Amino acid sequence: MSEKSIFSKIIDREIPAEIEHEDEHCIVIHDIDKQAPVHLLIIPKTPVPRISESTDEQQMLLGHLLRVAAEVSQKLDLEEGFRVVINNGRHGCESIPHLHVHLLGGRQLDWPPG
């Protein structure tokens, strides 16, 4: 059995986190290494290693993560805009093999991002 990811430990309440939202499918936490005034992580409770390894059966879950991003952005008054980011693989700067969506906002974001 592989070791649980830090996100699984947060979901299981083994590691504390500042939770912004939680439902049966995901948890939304504040990133401890903020890259913008608002930087949240939307994490599915069912571990998916990375977006490139997602399956057709996970379509509803993936869509739910984006809908939660939209709902949380409204709650946090990000009416000027926000960005959602999913890192995939080494060149995509993936650091934890548990899919998560970054929600960034609260300031003008630069383009291109990387």
Over its length of 114 residues, how does the chain's per-residue pLDDT go in tens digits?
Answer: 468 899 999 999 999 999 999 999 999 999 999 999 999 999 999 999 999 999 999 999 999 999 999 999 999 999 999 999 999 999 989 999 999 999 999 999 998 876
CA separation for the pair 83, 62 (Å, rounded) = 16
Q: Is 100 a catalytic residue?
A: yes
Q: Kindly name the residue from 21, 25, 100, 102 that is annotated as catalytic.
A: 100
pTM of the full predicted structure?
A: 0.94
The per-residue pLDDT for 114 is 66
Identify the pLDDT of residue 2.
65
Task: Enter the tokens of residue 43.
Answer: 């994490």
Q: Which residues lie below 8 Å from residue 51, measured CB to CB, with a gap of 6+?
A: 62, 86, 88, 99
Q: Give the C-alpha separation, 32 to 40, whole Å.
A: 9
Domains in the chain with CATH codes: 6-105 (3.30.428.10)
The CA-atom distances, in angstroms, between 89 and each of 39, 51, 95, 110 are 21, 9, 8, 22
